[in-house]
């Protein structure tokens, strides 16, 4: 099979080490992490990365570096604010709950990240995507639900819950959901409700369930004890990354 021109261009691009990026939501200072290819012929796609409930950590910086290695300009957004990092799961649950309970605020922080990404030299503003992990996976879906100007979104083991809105417009961004089939934090009823939501919204969506995977299957720091409901699974992590790459190959073609 012939490789696309986009894939050939991106594969040839070396990368620079990522670096902090300061941006703001009004008076609120946000501390992101930016990665970019060293050089490119023309504009390249931009990818916004939304963090899990512990905030922007080494996991998101690693994801940004990997995306830059693929030839994308990538920004790990800071949803919580500069210096706001939970010290444990209890604080993380409270912080994540604040934003999941106020979807307007969450969406605004996502838009701030998109604006910061679009402002970077070399980013094609017409070719953007949002990806997220756990709490951030919910955010990626919120970007699609809100009609943000992105070509696609990817949720990795993200929360599927949503706030019903009879006036919600059709979802125009393509959607990829990478889900752990044994994730105890997403009930069969929530999964079914998500499918119903996507059908009603007339969304172009793909839902992939990885057998044997639980919550946080892409995160090595989650450990390997599936009995806790959150654990790393190498097979699901590898396959979901490839599925994301294939998805990008589709949505980012000019």
Q: What is the pLDDT of residues 120-132, one digit of tens each?
A: 999 999 999 999 9
- Rounded-to-integer distance, Cα 126 and Cα 135, Å: 26
Give me the percent of the chain exceeding a pLDDT of 70: 93
Please, are residues 37 and 6 in contact by the beta-carbon 8 Å criterion? no
Where b means 16+ CB within 10 Å and e means fewer, 180-209 reads bebbeebeeeebeebeebbeebebebeeee
Q: What is the pLDDT at residue 47? A: 98
Average pLDDT, the chain: 92
5-251, CATH topology level: Rossmann fold (3.40.50)
- All structural domains of the chain with their residue ranges: 5-251
Q: Report in angstroms the alpha-carbon separations of 82 from 65, 78, 250.
A: 21, 7, 35
Q: What is the pLDDT at residue 7? A: 41
Residues in the chain: 254
Q: What is the pLDDT at residue 13? A: 42
pLDDT of 4 > 70? The answer is: no
Contacts of 194 (CB under 8 A, 6+ apart): 160, 162, 177, 207
Give me the percent of the chain exceeding a pLDDT of 90: 87
Q: Kindly state the helix (H) or strand (E) to which residue 118 belongs, with its residue range.
A: helix 103-118
SS3 of residue 60 by DSSP: helix
- Rounded-to-integer distance, Cα 128 and Cα 237, Å: 23
Average pLDDT for 91-109: 97
């Amino acid at each position: 099979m012939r490789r696309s021109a986009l894939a050939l261009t991106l594969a040839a691009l070396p990368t620079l080490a990522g670096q902090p990026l300061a941006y703001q939501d009004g008076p609120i200072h946000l501390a992101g992490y930016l990665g970019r290819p060293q050089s490119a012929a023309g504009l390249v796609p931009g990818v916004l990365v939304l963090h899990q409930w512990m905030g922007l950590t080494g996991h998101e910086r690693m994801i940004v570096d990997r995306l830059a290695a693929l030839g994308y300009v990538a920004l790990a957004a800071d949803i919580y604010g500069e210096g706001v990092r939970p010290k444990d799961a209890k604080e993380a649950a409270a912080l994540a709950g604040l934003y999941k309970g106020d979807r307007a605020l969450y969406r605004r922080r996502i838009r701030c990240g998109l604006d910061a990404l679009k402002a970077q030299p070399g980013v094609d503003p017409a070719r953007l995507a949002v990806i997220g992990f756990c709490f951030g996976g919910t955010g990626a879906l919120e970007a699609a639900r809100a009609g943000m100007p992105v070509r696609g979104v990817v949720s990795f083991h993200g929360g599927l819950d949503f706030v019903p809105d009879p006036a919600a417009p059709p979802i125009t961004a393509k959607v990829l959901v990478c889900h752990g089939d044994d994730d105890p934090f997403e009930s069969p009823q929530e999964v079914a409700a998500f499918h119903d939501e996507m059908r009603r919204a007339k969304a172009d969506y793909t839902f992939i369930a990885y057998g044997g995977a639980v919550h946080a299957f892409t995160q090595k720091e989650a450990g390997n004890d599936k009995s806790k409901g959150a654990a790393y699974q190498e097979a699901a992590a590898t396959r979901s990354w490839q599925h994301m790459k294939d998805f990008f190959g589709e949505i980012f073609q000019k």
